[in-house]
Structure 1
Amino acid sequence: MISVEVVYAAAPHQIDHMPLSLPVGATARDALRASGLTQRLGAALLATLVLGLSGRPCGPATVLREHDRLELLRPLQVDPKEARRLRYRRDGLKKVRRDR
């Protein structure tokens, strides 16, 4: 048996962590089924999510290893470049002091 964690963030600061114990050779699809998220979220929402393994995209047939973290990633709502621009407009340029 291997220990893995399935993580899903339904909204910012609302994160579900599901530790699972799965047989050796289990795939991301197996972990998703064992977590119960396939029934809870429904096919329509699942179709919009991307599977990730420790922050990197993976497929449902990816074989999991001990202590892997399987993530269900929501699509980006704001382009990262645009988010930086908005933060700059809001906060301005903050000087960083570096002690040398």
Structure 2
Amino acid sequence: MADVEIQPVAGRIGVMVCYATARQEWLRALEVAAGTTIGEAIEQSGVLQAFPDINLSTQPVGIYAKKKTLDTVLRARDRVEIYRPLVADPKDSRRKRAAKKEAAQGA
């Protein structure tokens, strides 16, 4: 399937809104008015209806893996991302791997 690109219309920009769970990816291309914020694009995308467990007051959002606030104004071709809480603390995971490696080397 070919990628669909939104053709620009005066005063409107094309953006993407995406969210992923452990089992499902959700991606929606939108055409929004110039000056639209991240929060407005998320509301317009339908992601909040598709995933009612999303809580924008506690879950961070960003554009291309850089955290932003909900009132950040979007630019053409931005990819809005809603981030989930981490399942495991990366520091704890690294410590466990190091301890396991040390135990294997000592045996």
Please give the TM-score of this superposition, normalised by the length of structure 2.
Answer: 0.70
Q: Give the number of aligned pairs.
A: 90
- Matched with 1:2 is 13
- Matched with 1:49 is 59
Give, as a single letter, the amino acid of the residue that structure 1 aligns with 2:54: L
> Are residues 88 and 32 of structure 1, via their aligned partners in 2, closer, same or farther at CA, if it must alter by over 3 Å?
same
SS in 2 for 1:78: coil
- The question of whether the paired residues in 2 share the 8 Å contact of 1:50 and 1:57 is answered with yes
Q: Find the structure with the greater CA-based Rg.
A: 2
Higher relative contact order (CA 8 A, sep 6+): 1
- Partner Cα distance (1:73, 1:61) in 2: 16
Aligned residues: CA RMSD? 2.1
Match among 50, 58, 69 for residue 59 of structure 1: 69
- Matched with 1:17 is 27
Runs of 4+ in 1 over 6 A off after TM superposition: none
- Partner Cα distance (1:88, 1:39) in 2: 42
